[in-house]
Chain A
Amino acid sequence: MAKIEHKGKAYEVDEDGFLAKGMEEWDNGWVDYVKSIEGITDMTDEHQKVIDALQEYYKKNGIAPMVRILSKTTGFPLKRIYELFPSGPGKGACKMAGLPKPTGCV
């Protein structure tokens, strides 16, 4: 596993840049790092709302929410989620929230 450094803190990541240890290592510095590589200029409350929703669902259920559930709990249609996270809910928002990398035939 590779390590990346952002503002003096090291994070263990896999080859796609997802946190290898998940939410154990997750902090605001990580959010700031992902923001810088995902082309997100400024973090808004809406970004935060998506991340909170993902983390809350993951802590409760052990899986990332389905896209429709994410849309329903945040109130953002998929189009808006892509506007907030250009790489999409999986590669963008889940990565920023410190969730495991999406698996399956993606």
Chain B
Amino acid sequence: MGYDPENPMKDRITDIGPPHFERFFPALVKKNYGKWLYHEILKPGVLKHVSETGDELYTVRIACARLISIELIRDYCDIADKHADGIMRWTTRNNVEFMVDSAAKVEPLLADLKKHGSMPVGGTGAGISNMVHTQGWIHCHTPATDASGVVKAIMDELFDYFTSMTMPAQVRVALACCLNMCGAVHCSDIAVLGVHRKPPMIDQDLISNVCELPLAIAACPLGAVKPAKGINSEGKEVKSVTVNEEKCMFCGNCYTMCPAMPLADPDGDGIAILVGGKISNSRSMPKFSKMVIPFLPNRPPRWPEVVAAVKNIVEVYAKDAKKYERLGEWAERIGWEMFFEKCNIPFSDKCVDDYRLAYNTWRTSTQFKYTSHIK
């Protein structure tokens, strides 16, 4: 029955979990589940899986903006109804895949996707697939940059890499709009990260009412937040905190815990670029991405500096790395000093780790290469 606000627990259904995934399998997938022999990438965006029963499954992958309207979902459903028995799936990078059971059905499907205009096919093999990203200014309260806008600007510039497979290995690009790093920023080949550069402001009128002060104090990774008496706008003494600005590195954790400590700032906020992370175990161990560009300004709506920086790194990597070599493997093989030189990125003191376990990231060896790109 309809929800009754007077009696909220009546007819309440709970703890039912997601529906079982098998309910949404294409018939051919259900039949061949656990029996796949091998797969091929026929061309960018088109995969073929062959089963031990001899069945062939063709998958067409298209880009998706992740943040989409129900109209677009219905467009996807129309395509799925027409070509793929009404079934489609989303990938872990928020691409969309349509599966058909014969080679003859692939071309008509591709033709319809092309006709739609905003369903580009690609994202397979050694190219650049979708960007994993976050909420940004659309919905979150702690961002230092936008997500959807920056992603659109970058993917426009990298579009040819989405629809081709010309890289040494796949390049995973991710974005997070603050260093909560929701998503994959800490482990992506190229990561775009929103950063602040100014300490929080303390709202003395609100702080003692809306904040659990010990939480704000414990939220600081550097011990910069301390309990203190504050004076509110009425001149009354209130329980509050102080921020040691010399110690603050603008992470924003205290604002996450305490709404009276906002720190977003239009000029201070911007984007840092990290590179060289990966999560797969192939060849080398998983790696964290490392910061190479500490700050680029927020320049909506197209973020030209950020786009140029990402594109530059992609192009130098594509030209220089060996086959199968991920960006982090390449940078570690040639040495980070060569990475900075080849990419012509000025190295700054901001990239030198100074947080607790920093020592291990410094060079305790005489092995290095002379570089000269910064005059």
- Partner-B contacts on A (CB < 8 A): 14, 20-22, 24, 38-39, 58, 61-64, 86, 100-101, 103-105
Say yes or no for B213: interface residue by CB 8 A criterion: yes
With A103-B257, A103-B258 in contact, is A22–B212 under 8 Å at CB?
A: no
Q: Given the complex, which residues of A lie within 8 Å of B209, measured CB to CB? A: 20-22, 24, 100
With A86-B9, A103-B256, A104-B257 in contact, is A62–B213 under 8 Å at CB?
A: yes
Q: Given the complex, which residues of B lie within 8 Å of A62, measured CB to CB? A: 212-214, 239
Q: Given the complex, which residues of A lie within 8 Å of B211, measured CB to CB? A: 100, 103
Q: Which of A58, A101, A105 contacts B210 (CB 8 A)?
A: A101
Which residue of A has the minimal Cβ distance to B258? A103
> Is A105 touching B9 in the complex (CB atoms < 8 A)?
no
A-B CB contact pairs (8 Å), 16 listed: A20-B209, A20-B210, A21-B209, A22-B209, A24-B209, A38-B8, A39-B7, A39-B9, A63-B212, A63-B213, A101-B210, A103-B258, A103-B259, A104-B256, A104-B257, A105-B180
Q: How far is the CB of A17 from chain B (nearest CB, A)?
A: 13
Q: Given the complex, which residues of A lie within 8 Å of B208, measured CB to CB? A: 22
Q: Given the complex, which residues of B lie within 8 Å of A105, measured CB to CB? A: 180, 256
Q: Given the complex, which residues of A lie within 8 Å of B257, measured CB to CB? A: 103-104
Considering the chains assembled together, what is the distance between the CA atoms of A25 and B180 in angstroms? 34
Q: Given the complex, which residues of B lie within 8 Å of A101, measured CB to CB? A: 210
Q: How far is the CB of B143 from chain A (nearest CB, A)?
A: 13
Q: Which of B260-278 contact A (CB under 8 A)?
A: none
Q: Given the complex, which residues of B lie within 8 Å of A63, measured CB to CB? A: 212-215
Q: Given the complex, which residues of A lie within 8 Å of B210, measured CB to CB? A: 14, 20, 22, 100-101
Q: Given the complex, which residues of A lie within 8 Å of B215, measured CB to CB? A: 63, 103-104
Q: Given the complex, which residues of A lie within 8 Å of B212, measured CB to CB? A: 58, 62-64, 100, 103
> Is A86 touching B8 in the complex (CB atoms < 8 A)?
yes
Q: Which of B187-217 contact A (CB under 8 A)?
A: 208-215
Considering the chains assembled together, what is the distance between the CA atoms of A14 and B210 in angstroms? 10
Which residue of A has the minimal Cβ distance to B256? A104
Which residue of B has the minimal Cβ distance to A38? B8
Which residue of A has the minimal Cβ distance to B257? A103
Considering the chains assembled together, what is the distance between the CA atoms of A101 and B215 in angstroms? 13
Which residue of B has the minimal Cβ distance to A19? B209
Q: Given the complex, which residues of A lie within 8 Å of B213, measured CB to CB? A: 62-63
Q: How far is the CB of B2 from chain A (nearest CB, A)?
A: 15
Q: Given the complex, which residues of A lie within 8 Å of B239, measured CB to CB? A: 62
Q: Given the complex, which residues of B lie within 8 Å of A58, measured CB to CB? A: 212
Q: How far is the CB of A78 from chain B (nearest CB, A)?
A: 13
Q: Given the complex, which residues of B lie within 8 Å of A20, measured CB to CB? A: 209-210
Considering the chains assembled together, what is the distance between the CA atoms of A63 and B227 in angstroms? 13
